[in-house]
Structure 1
Amino acid sequence: MDFQRVDVVYALLFDEKANKILMVFNKNGTWSLPGGAVETGETLQEATIREVKEETGYDIKVGNIVTLNEAFIDKNHVYFITYHGQITKRPEQIPQEENIIKVEWVNLEEADRLMPYHPEGISKILNESGAKYTLQKE
């Protein structure tokens, strides 16, 4: 069986004062971190910044990779890459995005419950420094 490689990126955005994570409720009925598929010619970091802006209106800086998950879904071999993100500008208004029902700051315990694909929980990921990412130049 031939599988198509698909790269999906997410940003883990944490508000320390409120102790909350920025999450999105998707039209497919699942919660996730803001993010989405990488487009042709786009780096992983560029895709993360673009997807977060499209879905939430937030401008971010992207830090280290904090998780890498992979799955076989239908005929796709999907890599889910999550970056630490830092908000650089908050939106005055959350944009309406066709695949997103709502954007919400969720407390850590609830985030752990809503995202079972991180078995040790988002709270554990927050405390790890992550892996360095380098875009190699030829």
Structure 2
Amino acid sequence: MKEVRVAYALIHNEKTQQILMVHNKKNDSWTLPGGLVEPGESLAEAAVREAKEETGLDVEVTTIVAVNEAKLQAINEHATFVTFKAKQLNDEILIQDTEKISEAAWKSYDEVDKVMTYHPGGIENLLGNGVPYVDEGVVHSATKED
């Protein structure tokens, strides 16, 4: 199976208690903004790039709030999905990748939980502190101490 990494941005509007989701044309499904990590790209860089492409928003990722994995036998892939909490830096939603994304919309927690059934405890469970993410950059030796 081919190993793939996918990074998502969880963009939360605390005032309205809504989550920004995108409608994917290929699967006719709603997901968080996100996609495949490109070669040479960090997980955080991928989440920021995908959020921009799919929503037009500039975001800053903070912590990791979920890590999921699945063996997708139909396409022979073993996927690791990393979800970052993301802070929205601008307000204008303008989808750039219109070939893949048909719509971006704010959804209630209940609406999100209906389509994101793979997060135990629901979306509200992911809105806590999360765990730190550290991009150590390029390491030139096998051990950091060298």
What is the one-letter code of the residue matched to 1:18?
T
The structure-2 alpha-carbon separation of the partners of 1:78 and 1:93, relative to structure 1 and needing over 3 Å to count, comes to: closer
CA distance in 2, matches of 1:14, 1:70: 23
Aligned to 1:105: 106
Aligned to 2:31: 32
What is the one-letter code of the residue matched to 1:19?
Q
Aligned to 2:48: 49
Identical amino acids, percent of aligned pairs: 43
TM-score normalised to the size of structure 2?
A: 0.87
The structure-2 alpha-carbon separation of the partners of 1:18 and 1:96, relative to structure 1 and needing over 3 Å to count, comes to: same
Deviating above 3 A after TM superposition, structure 1's stretches of 4 or more consecutive aligned residues are 92-96
Gaps of 5+ in 2: 140-146
Aligned length: 135
What is the one-letter code of the residue matched to 1:14?
H
Gaps of 5+ in 1: none
Residue 136 of structure 1, CA deviation: 2.0
Larger radius of gyration: 2
TM-score normalised to the size of structure 1?
A: 0.92
Within 5 A, what are the aligned runs for 1:1-138?
3-27=1-25, 28-74=27-73, 75-91=76-92, 93-126=94-127, 128-137=128-137, 138=139
CA distance in 2, matches of 1:55, 1:13: 12
The structure-2 alpha-carbon separation of the partners of 1:134 and 1:112, relative to structure 1 and needing over 3 Å to count, comes to: same
